[in-house]
Amino acid sequence: MMQIQIDALTLSSPQLECVARLSGECGSGVVRVTTSQALKIDGVRIESVPYIFERLVEVGLSSRDGQRGADGDITSCPRAGACPRERFDVVPYALAVTPYLRSFDDCHGLSRGHKIAFSGCPSDCALAAVADLGYFAQLHEDARGFSIHVGGGLGPPPVVGVQVEPFVRDEEVLMVAEAVRRLFHGYSDRCDRPEVPLRCVVEHLGADEFIRCYREERAQVDAEGLPCGVLEVTGQSPRIDNGSLEETTPDCPASGERQEGLQALSVRLPQGDISGENLIKVARVARCYGVGVVRATQQQDLLVPSVSHVHLDAAREALAGCDSPA
């Protein structure tokens, strides 16, 4: 099995077609969408790994830290960028944190499944409340920023993260990530297991002591500064919305977008599995009827944004049967 990172949860049609073909050439022919909004190619033969790496690089993808580590599990709401309830688009901030954490060799030492999530609205579609490090978008006197929760987890049993910051300015996003990274590496080896999620560090220290230790690390980071300098946030998400469902069908519900006449089509996948052949169909629908991109969701489905209502029936017809992994 090989897991492939998806920056900002978004794949272009050529990238999706590349993964689909690799699944047939080098794997079982089945691709899985994971709950961390990544893709997995099942049944990969070890001798095919170098070839897969080369092909992924050609289309701007990577499997680095896909199996374990911090940056493989940085997620946000799949409808970020146009959700009517969001305070602002959080995807550019997720994109900024990813390369920062990749720059450290010790990012491989973070626990398996270590998750960082960015939520743009109170609905918390990204599940930031139960992430190891959760960023919640906030507006304070028209200034962008985040409240920060640390040490959450889905269980068993599920645990909501401890709030360590009620509000930090958006340019402080990396400062927070650096403080939490240092805190984890400084205390995780004191727990009962050598590799633990941050929730175990919180449980080991207690919430109050954990917050005190975080503030110490954060003060040191503020004093020293970051090696990368000032946070740079660029780009924005594809224009997809979280509107009410319209003209739904069992396997391809459509939700209205902010721009009149556009819809976002959801491709529901059983257990996240889709065949390489059907994945190519999804990629072609995105290119022909959408804006050429596809989003992964934490429900292990795929989302095709910005399909014109004029082409909605044709897109649905082209996607027929894509919910079957066989």
Tens of pLDDT, residue by residue over 277-302, are 999 999 999 999 988 989 898 889 99
Q: Residue 106: CB partners within 8 Å, gap ≥ 6?
A: 181, 185
Calculate the average pLDDT of the chain: 81
Q: What is the CATH number of the domain that holds 283?
A: 3.90.480.10
Of 267 and 36, which is predicted with more confidence?
A: 267
Across 164-171, average pLDDT: 95
Structural domains counted in the chain: 2
| Residue that finishes a domain, picked among 171, 203, 224 | 224
Across 235-258, average pLDDT: 45
Do residue 257 and residue 140 come from a single domain? no
The three-class DSSP label of residue 67 is coil
Do residue 99 and residue 195 come from a single domain? yes
pLDDT of the residue at 232: 63
Asked if pLDDT for residue 184 goes beyond 90, the answer is no
Q: 236: pLDDT confidence band, cut at 50, 70 and 90?
A: low
Residue 326 lies in a domain: no
Residue 77 lies in a domain: no
CB-CB contact of 80 with 93 (8 Å): no
Of 64-73, 147-156, 166-175, 188-197, highest mean pLDDT: 166-175
Q: 158: pLDDT confidence band, cut at 50, 70 and 90?
A: confident
pLDDT of the residue at 82: 63
Do residue 219 and residue 87 come from a single domain? yes
pLDDT of the residue at 106: 55
Across 145-158, average pLDDT: 89
Do residue 102 and residue 216 come from a single domain? yes
Across 7-22, average pLDDT: 89
Residue 324 lies in a domain: no
- Within 13 A of 149's CA, how many CA atoms are on the CB side? 23
The three-class DSSP label of residue 29 is coil
Residue 325 lies in a domain: no
Do residue 112 and residue 180 come from a single domain? yes
Give the separation between CA 32 and CA 73, rounded to whole angstroms.
Answer: 15
Asked if pLDDT for residue 90 goes beyond 50, the answer is yes
The rounded percent of the chain whose pLDDT value lies above 70 is 79
pLDDT of the residue at 58: 93
The stretches of 68-205 forming alpha helices (DSSP H) are 91-102, 173-187, 198-205
Asked if pLDDT for residue 30 goes beyond 80, the answer is yes
Do residue 243 and residue 215 come from a single domain? no
Do residue 31 and residue 101 come from a single domain? no
Range of the domain at 59: 2-68+237-319
pLDDT of the residue at 36: 80
Of 82 and 299, which is predicted with more confidence?
A: 299
The burial of 30, by beta-carbon neighbours within 10 Å (0-12 exposed, 13-18 middle, 19 or more buried), is given as buried
Strand partners, 294: 11
H or E element at residue 31 = strand 30-33
| Residue that finishes a domain, picked among 164, 195, 224 | 224
The alpha carbon of 204 is separated from its chain's Cα centroid by a whole number of angstroms, namely 28
The rounded percent of the chain whose pLDDT value lies above 90 is 44
The burial of 309, by beta-carbon neighbours within 10 Å (0-12 exposed, 13-18 middle, 19 or more buried), is given as middle
Residue 229 lies in a domain: no
Do residue 57 and residue 108 come from a single domain? no
Residue 56 lies in a domain: yes
Residue 47 lies in a domain: yes
Q: What is the pLDDT of residues 45-78, one digit of tens each?
A: 899 999 999 999 999 888 754 444 444 478 888 8
Residue 216 lies in a domain: yes
Do residue 217 and residue 288 come from a single domain? no
pTM, 2 dp? 0.81
Do residue 301 and residue 259 come from a single domain? yes
Do residue 120 and residue 185 come from a single domain? yes
Q: 193: pLDDT confidence band, cut at 50, 70 and 90?
A: low
pLDDT of the residue at 50: 92
